Every structure is written in structure tokens, then in C-alpha cells.
Amino acid sequence: SKPYIFDRVFQSNTSQEQVYNDCAKKIVKDVLEGYNGTIFAYGQTSSGKTHTMEGKLHDPDGMGIIPRIVQDIFNYIYSMDENLEFHIKVSYFEIYLDKIRDLLDVSKTNLSVHEDKNRVPYVKGCTERFVCSPEEVMDTIDEGKSNRHVAVTNMNEHSSRSHSIFLINVKQENTQTEQKLSGKLYLVDLAGSEKVSKTGAEGAVLDEAKNINKSLSALGNVISALAESSTYVPYRDSKMTRILQDSLGGNCRTTIVICCSPSSYNESETKSTLLFGQRAKTIKNTVCVNVELTAEQWKKKYEKEKEKNKTLRNTIQWLENELNRWRNGETVPVDEQFDKEKANLEAFTVDKDITVINDKPAATIGVTGNFTDTERRKCEEEIAKLYKQLDDKDEEINQQSQLVEKLKTQMLDQEELLASTRRDQDNLQAELNRLQAENDASKEEVKEVLQALEELAVNYDQKSQEVEDKAKEYELLSDELNQKSVTLASIDAELQKLKEMTNHQKKRATEMMASLLKDLAEIGIAVGNNDVKQPEGTGMIDEEFTVARLYISKMKSEVKTMVKRCKQLEGTQAESNKKMEENEKELAACQLRISQHEAKIKSLTEYLQNVEQKKRQLEESVDSLNEELVQLRAQ
């Protein structure tokens, strides 16, 4: 419900051209007439400052104040008298983390602020480019804009992280009258104030937000001090306010564009922005034309100042005489008393055809009148000396700031190195712990391998004993088989002999039987008895045959038994050979496993030695790192 008064209020649907015509168009003419001008946009982040100042640089409808001013400056120049000669220089720099950084030469990252002979602050060492056309200016803007710091926040996808200042310096000379005018135009795009809780800034973006809010706070303090007519204005609290010192309460026509967010979410920031604009509106700047006088004009000014000095001396003489009369007790008539208004009118009549740059007044007229020329010169020399000391102190402060920044950088590097060393130490400690764990695991594995080897050795001994037992059993069976084979051979020989004897006996018996039968037949024939009876001797032969058969059958059964026994012995021998081969294979496998385990034990022993050596190296490295850490902490 609180009212705020401004020169003009624009709706959100206002065109860029209308904003330019109402806010900036008049300043172009003022700059070409020799005045200084400043235009800057103020407001919270994402409220439209960059859109207002720059817009879409190469879009005829969407371009902002800066490109339109550039075009208008050259349009005015083209339409002015031919006897006017113009020199236009542009500079483009940003204030990032309270450091002045040249956007046209990125190698210049920490420029300093100095004052010229008229006590006007300027950026020393900033790149200045002469331009002859709007296209050259736009190319310069594009080059600088590409080097400007931007970032993404929760409230703005292309948030400006620095205050940018585009300076146009126009100097003109009348070739006929030799009159020289100069005007400076500061086009400022401020970074927006931020609430970290809303933007979600972190890390480097958070540091940028802190510096942005700090410089904007310094700007607010300057505006408040000027609005309250304070005797001290804190221009030096920030480099931005130092550069804009002439724009805020000095010789400059300044236009401030207050950018507000229409969202109720940003109500508190909008109120703060409106209050800033309300205070800034109460500031009154004293402006005058920046003109370089010709020799004739300087001569006239000298004569005029000489006349003014003579008048002041007469006034001083008059006042001293009047004072002496009063001290002597005389009464000075009214018509003989000093007329202050008349004296002021005579003493301070100025030639209105000549306009000069207003330096800051050093003293009042009354005090000036009591100074002699020598004292005045001494005062001026003292003032010049003090200003020089101030510049030297500024330079020293800048050097100290650079040294502090360098030391901060070195400190950050050392902290980073220390953190890196600590991380390396932690990694080495973790590696050492891992190696110790692996060493312990290897020891456990070696123990298990040794235990397995012991078990294998025991099994090997058992298997070796079994093999020896089987070998002995095989030898016994072989001996027994050989004995049985010898016995079988002897039995076969005896059997063969018996067969031969039996055959011989049968043959003899047959012959004898045949002979006997023949004899019997012959006897039967002889006695006439055709029945030939078998002699009793035949039964004995049959009995012998029967006995022989029985004996032979017995021998056959014994032979079969021996053959069966031999086959059994051969089967047993085959099984023994098979078991022996299996035992030999198992023995070979055991020997292979033993050799493998011996090789593994050897490799594990070597690995254990390497681990112990690496452990000692790591311990030595940790000791050296601890010593370096102690040295770094000592530094």
C-alpha cells in the first residue's frame, strides 16, 4: 500500500523501443554536447536487467538500450556539421569477485582504479578501442560478452555473475573554432541481488553471490549517504562505487532503471528494490560541459580572474579599514559600511559564454580572501601532494590486494596440496591395510597349503606303504605262481611219462592179449571148442586199465585244478598289476601335486617377501609423508 514515485513506470508488455525513447534517448544528445552520462539497471536476479540493457543484440525489435544508443550516437554524428571531428573510444570490463577484469583482454584480470587530474576515477590499464561504425562497436560488445561470467541458478538460466560496464568516450573538435568537447557514457549492467535459499547457489556460484551482494550493499550505502546528504560517502567500499563515483553525486547525468519481478514470491526483494530507487531519485547531480578552452579563452579567463582577484583585494582592504575604525571606537556610517550583496555581485560575475569543468571547491570565499598568493600556492601544492599520496596509497593498496590474492591463491594451493597429501596418505594407509589384510590372508592360505601338504605327505606315506605292501604281495604271488608253474610242468612231465608208459603197457597188453587170444583161438580150434572164453587175465588188464583211467582222471582233475588255480593267480596278478598301475598313477599325481604345492609355496614365499618389502617401502613413504606434513604444518 506504500506509494513509490518514479519518473516513468513501464508495464511488462512495453516494447524495447519505448523504454529506450523514454529512458536513454536524451542522454545521447547530452553526451555529444559534452556532458557525462550513466545508465544502469538495478534489481534482483532474473528481473530483466540484462534484457533491458542488452536485449537481443542483433534483433532490430528485441535489442536493448546499449545497441540502440550505439546506433543513435552514430546517427547523430552523421547528421551534425561537417566541421566537427569526432573520436570515439570504447572500453568493456566487468567487476567479478571485486576484481576489475578487462573483457577485451582476458589477461588483464585485476586492474586498479586511479584518479585523473580532475579527481575523476578511471580504470588504469583498461583496453580502449577506437571505433568508426556501429558494426565495430557491436563486434566489440560481442567479443566482451563472450568473456563475461555467467552461470545457471534456480531462478535464472543465464545469470550474470559480474557487474559489466561498457564505456563510450566521445571527443569532438570544431575545426573552425578549435573548441574541444568530451563526454563519457557509462552503460552498466549490474548483477542481481540474490537470496541463496532461492537461487540454490553452491561452491563457486555461492562465492560469486556473496561478492555480488556485497558490492550491491556498498552501492546501497552510497545511495543512502547521498540521499541523507551525509558528510562522508563510502565510495571506496567497493570498486564498482569507486568507478561510478562521478555518476553518483558528481558531474554526470544518470538514469537508473529499476527492474522489479511481478511475482509475489519475490515481494520482499521488490520492496527493497523500489526503496533503492526512491532514495536514488532524491540525489541531485551538478553537471557541466567538459570543454577544453582555446588559448584566447584561457587568456580571457585569466584577465577575468585577475579582475576578480583585484576586486577581492579591494574588498579585503575596505573591510580591514572598516574593522580598524570599529576597533578605534569610531562609528562607521551605514553608507560607508561594506555592502555584501554589491560586493558579491561584482566579485562573482562570470562570463556565461565560457563553461569549464567544475573542480571540487576547496574553501569558502571568506577564507580564500584571507590567503596570500604564496599561501594559496602552498595549499594547492599540498593538496596536489596529498592527492598524489592518495594515488600512491591506492596503488599500494592495489598491490597489497594483489599480493593478498596471490598469497590466498598460494594458501589455497598449499591447502589443496595438504588435502591431496592427506588423501594420498589415507590412500596409502588404505593400501597398506589392504596389503596387510592380503598378507594375513596369504599367511592363512600358506598355513592351509602347508596343512594340505602335511596331509598329502601323510597320505603319500600311507599310499607308499600300501604300494610297498602290494608290491610284496605281488612278489609273493609271483613266487607262488612260479612254484605252481614248476609243479604243473613237473606234473605234466610225469603225466606224459605215465601216458607213454600206459600206451606201451597197453600195446604190450594188446599184443599179449592178441597173442593170447590167438593162442587161445588156436587152442580152441585145436581142442574143437569154438567158444573162446575171455581169459581171466583180461580182467586184470581191465582192472589195470581202470586203475590207469582212475589215475589219469585224478591227474586230469588235478591238472584242471592247477589250471584253475593258475587262472586265479593270473587274475590276481592282473588285479595286482592294475592296482599297482593305479597306485603308480596316484603316486605320480601326488608327486605332481607335491611339486605344484612346492612351486606355489615358493611363489607365495617370494610374494610374501615382496609384500614385506613393499610394506617396508610404504612405511618409509608414510614416514616421509608424515615428515612433509609436519614441515607443511610448520610453514
Query: pLDDT digits over 251-305, tens only?
Result: 888 898 998 888 777 788 888 888 888 888 888 887 888 887 666 777 777 788 8
- The answer to whether the predicted template modeling score (pTM) of the entire model surpasses 0.75 is no
| Residue 342 pLDDT exceeds 80 | no
The answer to whether residue 574 scores a pLDDT higher than 80 is: yes
Dihedral (C-alpha) 528, 534, 540, 545: value to the nearest 10 degrees?
140
Question: Above 80 in pLDDT, residue 206?
Answer: no
CB neighbour list of residue 116: distance below 8 Å, 6 or more residues apart: 122
Lowest mean pLDDT among 209-213, 403-407, 579-583: 209-213
Q: Answer with the residue of higher pLDDT: 503 or 346.
A: 503
Measured CA distances, 541 to 67, 510, 512, 546 (Å) = 156, 9, 11, 8
Tell me the residue ranges of DSSP E strands in 211-324.
253-259, 291-292
The DSSP secondary structure of 544-609, one letter per residue, reads HHHHHHHHHHHHHHHHHHHHHHHHHHHHHHHHHHHHHHHHHHHHHHHHHHHHHHHHHHHHHHHHHH
C-alpha cell at 238: 567497493
- Alpha carbon separation from 627 to 432, 440, 615, 631 (Å, rounded): 18, 28, 18, 6
What Å distances lie between residue 551 and 312, 490, 503, 548, CA to CA?
A: 183, 16, 14, 5
Q: Which residue has the higher pLDDT, 306 or 360?
A: 306
Q: Give residue 194's pLDDT.
A: 60
Q: Which of 171-175, 302-306, 338-342, 612-616 has the lowest mean pLDDT?
A: 338-342
What's the mean pLDDT in 390-395? 74
In this predicted structure, the answer to whether residue 424 has a pLDDT above a threshold of 90 is no
- Report residue 176 as a C-alpha cell: 573552425
Check the annotation: does 46 bind a ligand.
Answer: yes
- CA–CA separation, 118 and 293 (whole Å): 15
Mean pLDDT (the chain, rounded):
78
Q: β-strands 180-189, 37-43: how paired?
A: parallel
What is the dihedral sign for C-alpha 446, 452, 455, 461?
negative
d(C-alpha 529, C-alpha 523), whole Å: 8
Please list the residue range(s) of the chain that carry CATH number 3.40.850.10: 16-292
**43 is an annotated ligand-binding site residue:** yes
Work out the angle at residue 276's Cα, subtended by the Cα atoms of residues 270 and 278, and round it to the nearest 5 degrees.
105
How is residue 186 written as a grid cell?
A: 557509462
Distance CA 279, CA 282 (A): 6
The winner for highest mean pLDDT among 16-20, 39-43, 267-271, 514-518 is 16-20
Q: What is the mean pLDDT of residues 483-490?
A: 83
**CA distances in angstroms from 150 to 209, 274, 532, listed in the order given:** 12, 25, 153
Whether residue 201 has pLDDT greater than 60: no
Q: How far apart are CA 103 and CA 187, in angstroms?
A: 14
pLDDT of residue 402: 73
**Widest pairwise Cα distance in the chain:** 238
- Interatomic CA distance for residues 193 and 197, integer angstroms: 12
The three-state (H, E, C) secondary structure of 411-475, written as one string: HHHHHHHHHHHHHHHHHHHHHHHHHHHHHHHHHHHHHHHHHHHHHHHHHHHHHHHHHHHHHHHHH
CATH class for domain 398-634? mainly alpha
Instruction: Give the pLDDT mean for 92-99.
Output: 87
CB burial class (10 A; 0-12, 13-18, 19+) of residue 245?
A: buried
CA dist 495 and 548 (Å) reads 11
Assigned C-alpha cell, 462? 600311507
Check: CATH 3.40.850.10 for 16-292?
yes
Residue 394 has pLDDT above 60, yes or no: yes
With contact defined as beta carbons under 8 Å apart, do 216 and 193 qualify?
yes
Flag the least confident range among 17-31, 335-349, 555-569: 335-349
| Average pLDDT for 478-488 | 83
CA atoms of 190 and 240, how far apart (whole Å): 10
Q: Is 631 annotated as a binding residue?
A: no
* Long-range contacts of the stretch 411-416 (C-beta < 8 A, 24+): 414/632, 414/635
What residues contact 71, with CB distance under 8 A and at least 6 apart? 134
- The letter for the amino acid at 249 is G
Weakest mean pLDDT among 200-214, 377-391, 442-456, 541-555: 541-555
**Which residues of the chain does CATH 1.10.287 include?**
398-634
Ranking 123-127, 232-236, 515-519, 586-590 by mean pLDDT, the lowest is 515-519
User: Which grid cell is 443?
Assistant: 599367511
CA 560, CA 22: separation in Å to the nearest integer?
A: 140
Q: Which of 273-277, 543-547, 560-564 has the lowest mean pLDDT?
A: 543-547
pLDDT computed for residue 365 by the predictor: 31
For residue 507, the one-letter residue type is: K
Question: How far apart, in whole angstroms, are the C-alpha atoms of residue 155 and residue 152?
Answer: 8
Whether the pLDDT of residue 364 is over 50: the answer is: no
DSSP line for 596-629:
HHHHHHHHHHHHHHHHHHHHHHHHHHHHHHHHHH
Q: Is residue 372 predicted with pLDDT exceeding 60?
A: yes
